[in-house]
Amino acid sequence: MSDWRVLLVEDNPDDEALTIRAFAKNDIHDKIVVARDGAEAVDYLRAIDSGETPPPALILLDLKLPKVGGLDVLHQIRAGQRTRLIPVVVLTTSVEPEDVLAGYDGGANAYVRKPVSFSDFVAAVRTIVTFWLSLVERPPAATAPALPGGQPAAHS
Amino acid sequence: MVCVAADGRITMVNAQAERLFGYQREELEGQLVEVLVPGAAHSVHPQYRTTYMADPKPRPMGGGMQLSVCRRDGSIFPADISLAAIDTEEGILMTAAVRDVTSRQQAQEELERANRELESFAYSVSHDLRAPLRTLAGFSAALLDECADELGEAGRGYAGRIQSASEQMAKLIDDLLRLARMSKAEVNLQPVDLGAEVASIAAELQRDRPDRSVLFTIQQPVWVLADRSLIRTALQNLMENAWKFTSGRDDASIDFAAAPVTQQARVRCYVRDNGAGFDPAYVDKLFRPFQRLHSAREFPGTGVGLASVRQVVERHGGRVWAEGVVGGGATFYLTLQPADAL
């Protein structure tokens, strides 16, 4: 599974840069697609559902987003035929019990608080990637309808 | 004051009631008391009145419900009403002492609003203040990582300071939030063996720092009535302090023991260490948030730990205090209810 990518839904440019850096520190390069607000994320999800774009292996979702909120994006992910089984890790700042609950209620697979310390963040990214991309048995692609023309288009 | 006869008619009002309700005395006397009852409660009031007359003991009206009454102009205000009965030649008279509690209710509402504001403040602290901290910590780490040579030794030192200060501030925010949450948390009392809790905290401390040699003497069991998770937080703070402030000693020792306080049906426990201690002149400052008696250079910390210990113990109806001398160790006492008081 070398042709995988991660969709990062993140509006804060600093956090975006730090997340990309944290992936790079784990020797993962050029795998991240960024949606810079909820509306962009929804557009991206539509493109997946219509078969234009292959689904990401994992979605990292911030909850506090301008325009369309993170929970709405989550709802959209779970409602889409081709996106509903994609693992979603909420990656956000709040650990307010209501937010955590709302995240899981909305169908998030995991809820992680962004650590302040960068070395902790690098470690968190390593754990997330190791768990979701190599340890777990991922939902078989057959549960989603096959893309027109067979194989998903390869992206570099 | 409003007097009402058995048939529900107002027989007498005092001057204060005239002012309160905006009626002249003659307008009220002879009327059914329901004229003072807001429309919503009109239909049920005569029934309440009859029930009261059947057993006319002095008591507050409404059984703790928020009551309201109606002025002449139709406006409604919240009121406390105390009922009593007097035996007279004309039969039993019901007296109702009516007090306008508008200002009390307003104060209550204001307090609730302030609490909600505080909550949303705490929320945005957790959310919004952490984001720039992550930027500070993250990019100072990036500087150290990618531009170490260009920065030179002094520059690397500066970046390191930014990094540790931002991480320190994150800890502060977390501690503050924990303190705020603790003051709201429910206290679920159950029997807890404090000795067992202390022993498990000690084991965790030792596991994280296997190189340190500390002699623990822990009395077990010490049964008290407490909220397990709250009291564990308090003990954790006390033990971490003892662990931290004995770090300079090769012969460090930390004791936990308890004794009943007979007159008060209380258990007094203490955590004692032979560490750096503190200047007893500042003992009053110890339990206040952000007050620190040691420099961050000597002993790092946020100064919130002991404030939360006090918060927890006071939520249990207990007391906490400390004794210490500079260089001669410190003892932190707390009193709690014994478990057999259940």
The answer to whether position A18 is within a domain reads: yes
Identify whether A138 is part of a domain: no
Note down the domain range covering A23.
6-133
- Cα within 13 Å of Cα(A141), Cβ side: 10
Could you tell me the pLDDT band of residue A89, with boundaries at 50, 70 and 90? Answer: very high
Looking at every residue in chain B, the average pLDDT score rounds to 87
Structure confidence by residue, pLDDT tens digits, B160-190: 999 989 988 888 888 777 777 777 777 889 9
Has residue B217 got a pLDDT over 50? yes
**A154 within a domain of the structure (yes/no):** no
Q: For an interface test with B, which of A14, A65, A98, A116 has the most B Cβ atoms less than 10 Å from its Cβ?
A: A116
Asked if A2 reaches chain B (Cβ–Cβ under 8 Å), the answer is no
Q: What is the pLDDT of residues B228-287, one digit of tens each?
A: 989 998 999 999 999 999 998 999 999 999 988 877 778 999 999 999 999 888 888 888
Q: Place B130 in a pLDDT band, splitting at 50, 70 and 90.
A: confident
Question: Min CA distance, A95 vs chain B (Å)?
Answer: 8
Interval B4-58: pLDDT, tens: 988 889 988 999 898 889 999 888 889 889 889 988 888 888 888 888 888 888 8
Encode burial over B182-208: b for 16+ CB neighbours within 10 A, e otherwise.
Answer: beebeeebeebebbebbbebbeebeee
Report how far residue A127's alpha carbon sits from residue A58's, in angstroms, rounded to the nearest whole number: 13
One-letter amino acid at B144 equals: L
* Nearest chain B alpha carbon to A14: B135
- Which residue of A118, A119, A120 to mutate against B (max B Cβ within 10 Å)? A118
pLDDT for res B292: 75
CB contact under 8 A, A116 and B135: no
Name the pairing type of β-strands A58-61 and A6-9. Answer: parallel
Binary contact (A119, B141; C-beta < 8 A): yes
Between residues B311 and B181, which one has the greater pLDDT? B311
The answer to whether residue A156 sits within a structural domain is no
Q: Is residue A143 part of a domain?
A: no
Give a yes or no: residue A124 inside a domain: yes
Strands B76-88 and B190-193: unpaired
Measured between CB atoms, which of A94, A96, A118 is closest to B138?
A118
Tell me if B291 sits within 8 A of B285, measured CB to CB. yes
Facing residue for B138 by CB, picked from A18, A64, A95: A18
Q: At what angle do helices B228-245 and B194-208 cross, to 10 degrees?
A: 50
Average pLDDT over every residue of B106-122: 75
Q: B31 CB contacts (<8 Å, ≥6 apart)?
A: B9, B10
Q: How confident is the model at residue A1 (pLDDT cuts 50, 70, 90)?
A: low
Q: Residue A31: inside a domain, yes or no?
A: yes
Collect all residues with Cβ–Cβ distance below 8 Å to A33 and sequence separation of at least 6. A5, A6, A7, A8, A44, A56
First to last CA, chain B: 45
Residues B131, A121: C-beta atoms closer than 8 Å: no
φ/ψ of residue B61, rounded to 5 = -80, 145
Residue A100 lies in a domain: yes
Task: Please report which confidence band the pLDDT of residue A24 belongs to, taking 50, 70 and 90 as the band edges.
Answer: very high
Query: Rounded to whole angstroms, how far apart are CA atoms B128 and B174?
Result: 13
- The model carries a pTM of 0.60
Whichever domain contains A98, its CATH number is 3.40.50.2300
Q: What is the Cα–Cα distance from B219 to B276, expressed in whole angstroms?
A: 23
Structure confidence at residue A154 (pLDDT): 41
Selected for mutation to probe chain B from A18, A95, A117 (highest B CB count within 10 Å) is: A117
Q: What are the strands, taking DSSP E only, across chain B?
A: 2-4, 10-13, 59-60, 67-70, 76-88, 91-100, 190-193, 214-218, 223-226, 252-261, 266-273, 320-324, 330-338
Q: Which residues of B touch A15 (CB under 8 A)?
A: 131, 134-135
Question: Is the model's pLDDT at A84 over the cut of 80?
Answer: yes
Average pLDDT score over residue span A128-132: 94
Contact A73, A41 (CB under 8 A): yes
Closest Cα in chain A, distance from residue B201 (Å): 24
Say how many domains are in chain A. Answer: 1
What's the CA gap between A82 and A49, in Å, rounded?
A: 5
Overall average pLDDT of the B140-159 stretch = 94
Q: B139 pLDDT exceeds 50?
A: yes
